[in-house]
Amino acid sequence: MPVRADDYVSRGLAPVFDMNLPEGILREELRHTFAKTVERMDDLTLLSIVGASQIGRLRCVPTGSTPGVVPALSIAELLAHKGTESLFDELLRRFMTYSGVAGVQPKVLVRDATKVSHRSTTHMVKAWSPDRYPQLAANEHYCMEVAREVGLPTAKTQLSESGALLVVERFDLTASGYLGYEDFCSLSGKASAQKYEGSYEQMAKRVSQFVSPGAVPHALELFFRSLVVSCAVGNGDAHLKNFGVLYDDPAKLVELTPVYDVVCTKVYLPQDMLALMLDGNKRFPSRKTLTTFGAASCGLTPRRIKEVFEATDDAIARVGERLRGMKSERPEFAGVAQAMDAVWSQWLSQRPLVVAQSNGDRSAVVAPAGRRSGRRKGPRL
């Protein structure tokens, strides 16, 4: 929002203020807690409660006030905790007013006691509903592992020993303070409720518009690679709010954020679709459709696109091995792990057949995982 003579006009809160408003369980808990002390829990009231502590460096406080110090806790103890829901309920009560963060998944922002130089939050703690999204923390952790294996910059995630919590280190935090952050919902002039509107083609144009000119080619490749990972792991929630930009000085370098919030949604919604349009629809795309998008919207060569597919396939295979090992280590995760494995194997089944020469003039067809040729069965994932 550059300084200008004209007013900024919005029917509700301006998108940059709407961007971090709590949703889901966090919003309901805030509404219930403040029901007796506020006349109406509208968006502006909600911003007045959580605005002093939110993602990015923008802070909103009443006139004459300053952001307070967030209570501290031990992230190490949190990760080692053996309990389940009761711990998150305690965290919710303690940190909900410091949690200016969007998303329907149960989450709060907390401050690690070891980060003595920071007065505000340093980590996000996510939980899950056993009724609707069982083992969501482990699901996200292993999907993020795929992104890391591919070589994408990612938010750092740690799964608690109980598997009940996912602890995410804030990627907008540096030794000297917080970076500016805006998601692509805000950058598109949309409220959070409109996060599923638009297309990935439009997103690519937004990347070119808001990322610093010299960083655009690299940013478009990162965007394409992250979209391929989302398609590979079955993530139907790669919406406008799950991409953003970071900057220290917007007049200097503006870059894409690291990858975050990648989940295999098809485990819970087998018929799930993409969050945004691609090639005119929301069906999960074929590799051919992704190839066309990578070339036309992201400026990648066929060779580079092929390398992205190969790196993603390799990452899926490596993390898939660890995922299957979890079935015995965490029996409660076995069902979700098996369902994730099936989704990932479906992606690998799209790999093109490889024709290898044999006996001089005879060829043998080698099928990839999940596919069968007439002569030989390919390796299992």
pLDDT, tens digit (0-9, with 9 covering 90-100), for 2-25 = 778 998 887 889 999 999 999 999
Q: What is the mean pLDDT of residues 345-364?
A: 67
pLDDT at 288 over 90: yes
At 84 the pLDDT is 56
Domain spans, the chain: 15-313, 352-381
Instruction: Name residue 158's amino acid.
Output: Q
In which residue are the tokens 């949604």 written?
265
Span 251-284, pLDDT tens digits: 899 999 999 999 999 999 999 999 999 999 999 9
Q: How confident is the model at residue 119 (pLDDT cuts 50, 70, 90)?
A: confident
Phi/psi for 118 (5° steps) reads -110, 135
Residue 322, classed as helix, strand or coil, is helix
Residues 6+ apart with CB under 8 A from 31: 41
Q: At what angle do helices 24-33 and 85-95 cross, to 10 degrees?
A: 60
Q: What is the mean pLDDT of residues 303-317?
A: 97
Percent of the chain with pLDDT over 90: 76
pTM of the model: 0.89
Residues 6+ apart with CB under 8 A from 280: none
Q: Which two structure tokens, joined as six digits, stand for 147?
A: 């992104």
Q: Which two structure tokens, joined as six digits, stand for 213?
A: 């000119």
With beta carbons less than 8 A apart as the criterion, state whether 240 and 277 touch.
no
Q: How confident is the model at residue 241 (pLDDT cuts 50, 70, 90)?
A: very high
Higher pLDDT, 374 or 132: 132
At 1 the pLDDT is 67
Instruction: Name residue 328's amino acid.
Output: S
Q: How far apart are CA 270 and CA 171, in angstroms?
A: 31
At 184 the pLDDT is 97
Q: Which two structure tokens, joined as six digits, stand for 189?
A: 């002039």
What is the DSSP track for 7-37?
PP--SSS-HHHHTT---HHHHHHHHHHTTTT
pLDDT at 358 over 70: no
pLDDT at 325 over 90: no
Lowest mean pLDDT among 13-17, 270-274, 289-293, 352-356: 352-356
At 83 the pLDDT is 64
CA nearest to 74, candidates 120, 26, 123: 123
Lowest mean pLDDT among 146-155, 267-276, 370-379: 370-379
Q: How far apart are CA 56 and CA 1, in angstroms?
A: 15
